[in-house]
């Protein structure tokens, strides 16, 4: 069945891949973005498709559209990006989700919220199941993102209970792949960029902290399954890869694949940086019949190949946007 689908944050790293997939499937896709952390080049190849439409808009402001499904991905996601204007980040999560849920309510559209593993903060439980309520510092520099996403989850569940909106939640763990912003400051993009330029690879802290890295194609498959689950499963559900790597191991893998002469250098660990992170994905397996299929080594190679194919300096850091 063909749907009219709104993808907020649709010009971003994950959003642009999602738009591509939905356009290929023949849906009528509206991509809405304020280009805070992305650029039109991510979706320019879709502009001549009759079933694709691009709107520059900020989701902290209301907009009236008629759609059947909404994927709410708009939000800066990398620490450097979401801390650039933390008040705006919180507004995007809270005011943005209210505006987009308003469309869902008015149109009877199904709604999918892109939440995050950051709702677990620096977790005391490992790996993290959905039932774990998290350990977030509500007043630290990461709170604008973590607490914003936690508030957005609450608002989704209240719209379900009070307004009958079919709102669903995915908690996305670290995802990487082609079209990551080369200057977003995330670990995969930093390490690849640094290795390609023979610059020092910056390990924050002792490099023994862990993350689990999911390839973007696996992620997009999971969120499409979540949106289209016919049993009304609302989540929250963890989406991520269970392979757990130390940051030092990741650096070594990148250096081995890229070659070159980069050396590891240590930098201070950012405040509230989580020490361990790995998703428990049993719920996703059971409810969505989904698990990731791309090992880190293969996904990293594809990502490195993409970084080699672009001019990294075409990608600019975020420019001021106003609260």
Specify the DSSP element, H or E, that contains 79.
Answer: helix 79-82
Among 27, 149, 193, 211, binds ligand UDP (CB under 6 A): 211
What are the start-end ranges of the H helices in 207-295?
216-228, 247-258, 282-288
Total chain residues near ligand UDP (CB under 6 A): 15
203's contact among ligand NAD, ligand UDP, none, with CB below 5 to 8 A by partner kind, is ligand UDP
User: From CA 299, how far away is CA 54, in angstroms rounded?
Assistant: 29
Task: State which H helix or E strand residue 308 sits in.
Answer: helix 296-309
Which residue number, 127 or 262, has a Cβ lying nearer to ligand NAD? 127
Go through 164-173 and write b for each residue having 16 or more CB atoms within 10 A of its CB, e for each that does not: ebbbbbbbbb
Q: How far is CA 98 from CA 7, 94, 109, 118, 213, in A?
A: 15, 6, 14, 20, 30
Q: In the stretch 35-74, what mask flags binding to ligand UDP with x, by CB under 6 A?
A: ----------------------------------------
DSSP 90-114: HHHHHHHHHHHHHHHHHHT-EEEEE
Please report, as residue ranges, which positions from 255 to 314 form the binding site for ligand UDP (by CB under 6 A). 269-270, 273
Q: How far is CA 45 from CA 32, 181, 217, in A?
A: 16, 18, 18
Residue 273 binds: one of ligand NAD, ligand UDP, none (C-beta under 5 to 8 A by kind): ligand UDP
Give the Cα separation of 281 and 291 in Å (integer). Answer: 8
CA 294 – CA 218 distance, rounded (Å)? 7
| Residue 14, contacted partner among ligand NAD, ligand UDP, none, CB below 5-8 A by kind | ligand NAD
Smallest distance, ligand UDP to C-beta of residue 151, A: 18
Binding mask 163-192 for ligand UDP (x = CB under 6 A): -----------x-----------xx--x--
304 binds, among ligand NAD, ligand UDP, none (CB under 5 to 8 A by kind): none
Q: Looking at 39-47, 198-206, 224-232, 286-294, which segment touches ligand UDP (CB under 6 A)?
A: 198-206
Shortest Å, Cβ 323 to ligand NAD: 10
Is the distance from CB of 188 to CB of 303 less than 8 angstroms? Answer: yes
Structure tokens at 217: 């194609």
* DSSP code of residue 317: P
CA distance 302 to 304: 6
Q: 145, 159, 176, 183: which one is catalytic?
A: 145
Return the one option of ligand UDP, ligand NAD, none that residue 38 interacts with (CB less than 5 to 8 A, by type). ligand NAD
Q: Assess 203 for contact with ligand UDP (CB under 6 A).
A: yes
Q: Which of 204, 233, 245, 306 binds ligand UDP (CB under 6 A)?
A: 204
306 binds, among ligand UDP, ligand NAD, none (CB under 5 to 8 A by kind): none
Active site residue 145: yes
CB atoms inside a 10 Å sphere around CB 102: 16
What span, in angstroms and rounded, lies between the C-alpha atoms of 42 and 86? 25
Single residue of 89, 209, 212, 241 touching ligand UDP by CB under 6 A: 209
Shortest distance, position 205 Cβ to ligand NAD, whole Å: 19
Q: Which residues are catalytic?
A: 145
Question: Which residues in this chain contact ligand UDP in the complex, by CB under 6 A?
Answer: 78-79, 174, 186-187, 190, 202-204, 209, 211, 247, 269-270, 273
């Amino acid at each position: 069945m063909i749907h009219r689908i709104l993808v907020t944050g649709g010009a971003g790293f994950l959003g642009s891949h999602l738009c591509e997939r939905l356009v290929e499937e023949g849906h009528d896709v509206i991509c809405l973005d304020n280009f805070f952390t992305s650029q039109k080049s991510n979706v320019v190849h879709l502009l001549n498709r009759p079933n694709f439409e691009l709107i520059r808009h900020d989701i902290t402001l209301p907009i009236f559209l008629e759609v059947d499904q909404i994927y709410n991905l708009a939000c800066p996601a990398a620490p450097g990006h979401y801390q650039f204007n933390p008040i705006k980040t919180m507004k995007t999560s809270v005011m943005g989700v209210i505006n987009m849920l308003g469309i869902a309510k008015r149109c009877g559209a199904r709604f999918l919220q892109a939440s995050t593993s950051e709702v677990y903060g620096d977790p005391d439980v490992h790996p993290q199941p959905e039932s774990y309520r998290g350990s977030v510092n509500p007043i630290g520099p990461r709170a604008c993102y973590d607490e914003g996403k936690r508030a957005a989850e609450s608002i989704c569940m209240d719209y379900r209970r009070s307004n009958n909106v079919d709102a669903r939640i995915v908690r996305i763990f670290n995802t990487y792949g082609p079209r990551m912003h080369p200057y977003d400051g995330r670990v995969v993009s930093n390490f690849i960029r640094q290795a390609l330029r023979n610059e020092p690879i910056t390990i924050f802290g002792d490099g023994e902290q862990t993350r689990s890295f999911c390839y973007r194609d696996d992620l997009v498959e999971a969120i499409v399954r979540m949106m289209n689950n016919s049993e009304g499963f609302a989540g929250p559900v963890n989406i991520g890869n269970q392979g757990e790597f130390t940051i030092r191991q990741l650096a070594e893998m990148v250096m081995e694949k890229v070659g070159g002469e980069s050396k590891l250098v240590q930098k201070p660990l950012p405040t509230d940086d989580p020490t361990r992170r790995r998703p428990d994905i049993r719920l996703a397996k059971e409810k969505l019949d989904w698990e990731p299929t791309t090992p880190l080594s293969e996904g990293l190679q594809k990502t490195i190949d993409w970084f080699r194919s672009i001019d990294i300096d075409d990608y600019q850091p975020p420019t001021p946007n106003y609260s």
